Amino acid sequence: MNNLELTTELTTELRNLIDQMKAGNRRAVARLITHVENGGPETARNIIKEIYPLTGKAYILGITGAPGSGKSTLTNQIASEYLKAGKKVSIIAVDPTSPFSGGALLGDRIRMKPNFTNKNLFIRSMANRGKLGGLAMATKDVLHVLDAYGSDIIIVETVGVGQSEIDIFKSAHTTLVIMPPGMGDGIQAIKAGIMEITDIFVVNKMDREGADRRVNELQTMLDISEKIDVDSPNNSIRVLRSKGWRPPVLKTNGLTGENVPILLDQIKKHGDFIITSGLKKQRLIFRYKHYVVDILKYFLLKNIEKIVFSNPKINEFIEKILSYEKGNDPYSISDAIMEVFLNRYF
């Protein structure tokens, strides 16, 4: 079969932007991200191939939780603490997609306004592109851009719909789940599969009634979770959640910053734990497997019609279907084509 047709040329504009980014130009970073978002994986692949040797140094912190839990306000406080410590911080705020422009609604950035002028902070709102609670492929590409930019900490705050938050676990080193008091019943956390993806639970808005009750509910659910098929080999996410680490449950106040330094200490402890336990490498393998699958899905789907309709050898397979013989049904022929394809490229 013919090779898949992929554009491998890095334009002069993109090369100049990458050079400017390496020099610390924030505007160049923003423009590169715009190219990734608007140009799709074809553009992203050329950028990532060029900058990839500069990546692998940033610590990725995922923050998720239901709407109204105070994620953006708390994210601003977390960023402030890291900035005080001299860290270079980037924030990706994954907002719902606008039905008109296809872009992000920018609500999260408004709540982070107090830090806008800090030269060590970069904030970008990105649309979830219809992936409820998850990360669009562009977001995963942008993580590499911000890593290459020299970010010490990259915070990814997801749209947070409560049921589909697994993607953030696939990308982050440490995942925080923010849960306010007095919103919904405690069992919702188990229904959402939250126990499997959480490294640290944060009960935000601790000044409100019901905060201590929510902490107790989470502790009880952690007790139950530890007794339910913890060692199940079929649950890859649960296995990666790590033995030896029980997610702490902390109370914070995103408005005042109360207990946020304690939260950062727990993030540091978890970061140290995944290194000493060997879990960091396991999670990176898990992350990049899913990343590669996303890339393959895109390019294979984009090129599959071209492969089937333009390659004469495919006709030999298709004609076998017309024999109506056992073993020549469309599924069997598709299996045969896939085998040829895999032998050709792998």
Sheet strand arrangement including 249-251? 121-127, 89-95, 153-157, 59-65, 174-178, 200-203, 249-251
Q: List the domain range (segments joined by +) for residue 198.
A: 56-284
pLDDT for res 135 = 65
Q: CB-based burial of residue 282 (10 Å sphere; 0-12 exposed, 13-18 middle, 19+ buried)?
A: middle
Q: Are residues 280 and 298 in the same domain?
A: no
Q: Are residues 150 and 219 in the same domain?
A: yes
Q: In whole angstroms, give the CA distance from residue 92 to residue 157.
A: 6
- Domain presence at residue 20: no
Q: Where are the beta strands (DSSP E) in the chain?
A: 59-65, 89-95, 121-127, 153-157, 174-178, 200-203, 249-251
Q: In whole angstroms, give the CA distance from residue 102 to residue 204.
A: 31
Q: Are residues 264 and 315 in the same domain?
A: no
pLDDT for res 47 = 95
CA 174 to chain centre: 11
Sole residue written with tokens 């946020």: 260
- Domain presence at residue 315: yes
- Domain presence at residue 23: no
Q: Are residues 94 and 154 in the same domain?
A: yes
Q: Are residues 254 and 315 in the same domain?
A: no
CA 118 to chain centre: 25
Q: Are residues 67 and 158 in the same domain?
A: yes
Residue type, 308: V
Q: Pairing mode, if any, of strands 153-157 and 59-65?
A: parallel
pLDDT for res 207 = 92
Q: Are residues 136 and 264 in the same domain?
A: yes
Collect the ranges in the chain with pLDDT lower than 70. 1-8, 95-116, 128-135, 160-166, 183-193, 227-243, 345-346
- Domain presence at residue 322: yes
Q: Are residues 278 and 298 in the same domain?
A: no
Q: Is there a contact between 89 and 152 (Cβ–Cβ < 8 Å)?
A: yes
User: Considering its fold, how many domains does the chain have in total?
Assistant: 2
DSSP for 180-194 reads: -TTSS-TTHHHHTTH
Q: In whole angstroms, give the CA distance from residue 121 to residue 101.
A: 26
- Domain presence at residue 130: yes
- Domain presence at residue 26: no
Of 262, 284, 306, the position where a domain reaches its end is: 284
pLDDT for res 233 = 47
- Domain presence at residue 15: no
Residue type, 231: D
pLDDT for res 307 = 75
Q: CB-based burial of residue 185 (10 Å sphere; 0-12 exposed, 13-18 middle, 19+ buried)?
A: exposed
Of 261, 284, 307, the position where a domain reaches its end is: 284
CATH number for the domain that contains residue 237? 3.40.50.300
pLDDT for res 248 = 95
Q: Are residues 300 and 263 in the same domain?
A: no
Of 284, 311, 334, the position where a domain reaches its end is: 284
- Domain presence at residue 320: yes
- pTM of the entire predicted model: 0.84
Q: Are residues 331 and 263 in the same domain?
A: no
Q: Are residues 324 and 214 in the same domain?
A: no
pLDDT for res 25 = 96
Alpha-helix residue ranges (DSSP H) falling in the chain:
12-22, 26-51, 71-84, 107-111, 137-148, 166-171, 188-191, 194-197, 211-227, 236-240, 260-276, 279-310, 312-321, 330-345
Q: Are residues 265 and 325 in the same domain?
A: no
Q: What is the CA radius of gyration of the chain?
A: 23
